[in-house]
Chains A and B, each alone.
Chain A
């Protein structure tokens, strides 16, 4: 069982209160109508699925109902931190935007 820090509620809460929101910061194509099927399929379905550090979104379903960003190690389940979407974006970019 994870314990997440919700950056909106400012409290540590149990995993049961949260829902998984998938990989974070997937860039939406600027001109989707010009994409071919392969590129559109990549955007919709292909994920990094790393073994190691992963930037992902969670939503505080039964609390504030907001999404936020968590950096979690998929191999050890260690959690490096959690941020609001905008703060998380800065931390993600500061790392070079990659895991």
Chain B
């Protein structure tokens, strides 16, 4: 059997080849940030044993405050609900992180699932990014502070959104990625949409060498 490969849900749009540095020529800049690790972690946020074991394995305190996220150099931990977190990591790290969590949480009621193939991330920036989000969602994105994460609706689908740098990051389900991308493109039409060369951060800049990424 051949090795599994990762293929971005938006690969057919050929976004990588259209990307250019962000400048003033477009009101909205967007792109997909493909091939990132997503781990679903579940357990009781009120259980001190669970929280401390998970925090130790992650290297940062598990955010138990509603709608907050914690960031370290290698992972982002998003609070999704009182008993669910999403751990965003470099793709090559997801496997090792899963084993580390499973080991640390042995004996505590928990669930750790590698969902890396199930989500993708979209960068949305530019002077009119907020206008686009107002078109597509009911959430008041202007009130979304750095360090907070909002699970809300986006068109007929759902999204986990947070601010990073000068823009927004939208984590969307793989099966809705195509719909959401087309929806965003349409909403951004009045402002002009540029495909952005996404600013490299720790998670994105990490090499995908340890996972097989499909060509094209």
A interface footprint on B135-147 (CB within 8 Å = 1, 0 otherwise): 0001100000000
* Cβ contact within 8 Å between B151 and A16: no
- Within 8 Å by CB of A10, from B66, B152, B158, B159, lies B66
Residues facing A in B56-78 (CB within 8 A) are 66-67
Q: What separation, in Å, do the CA atoms of A14 and B154 have in the docked complex?
A: 12
User: Interface of chain A, helix or strand or loop or mixed?
Assistant: loop
Q: If A8-B66, A11-B67, A14-B139 touch, does A66 touch B81 (CB 8 Å cutoff)?
A: yes
- Within 8 Å by CB of B82, from A11, A13, A61, A66, lies A66
* Cβ contact within 8 Å between B153 and A17: yes
Asked if A62 is at the interface of the complex by the 8 Å CB criterion, the answer is yes
* Cβ contact within 8 Å between A16 and B153: yes
| Cβ of B147 to closest chain A Cβ, rounded Å | 14
* Cβ contact within 8 Å between A13 and B152: yes
Chain B residue nearest to A1 (CB atoms) is B138
B: contact size bracket: 10 to 19
A: contact size bracket: 10 to 19
Q: If A8-B81, A66-B81 touch, does A14 touch B138 (CB 8 Å cutoff)?
A: yes
A interface footprint on B147-167 (CB within 8 Å = 1, 0 otherwise): 000111100001100000000
Q: Which residues of A contact B184 (CB under 8 A)?
A: none
Q: Which residues of A contact B138 (CB under 8 A)?
A: 13-14, 16-17
Asked if A9 is at the interface of the complex by the 8 Å CB criterion, the answer is yes
Q: If A17-B138, A62-B158, A64-B80 touch, does A9 touch B153 (CB 8 Å cutoff)?
A: no
Asked if A90 is at the interface of the complex by the 8 Å CB criterion, the answer is no
| Cβ of A63 to closest chain B Cβ, rounded Å | 4
Extra contacts besides A13-B138, A13-B152, A14-B138 (17): CB < 8 Å: A9-B66, A9-B67, A10-B67, A11-B150, A16-B138, A17-B153, A61-B158, A62-B153, A62-B158, A63-B81, A63-B150, A63-B151, A64-B80, A64-B82, A64-B151, A65-B81, A65-B84
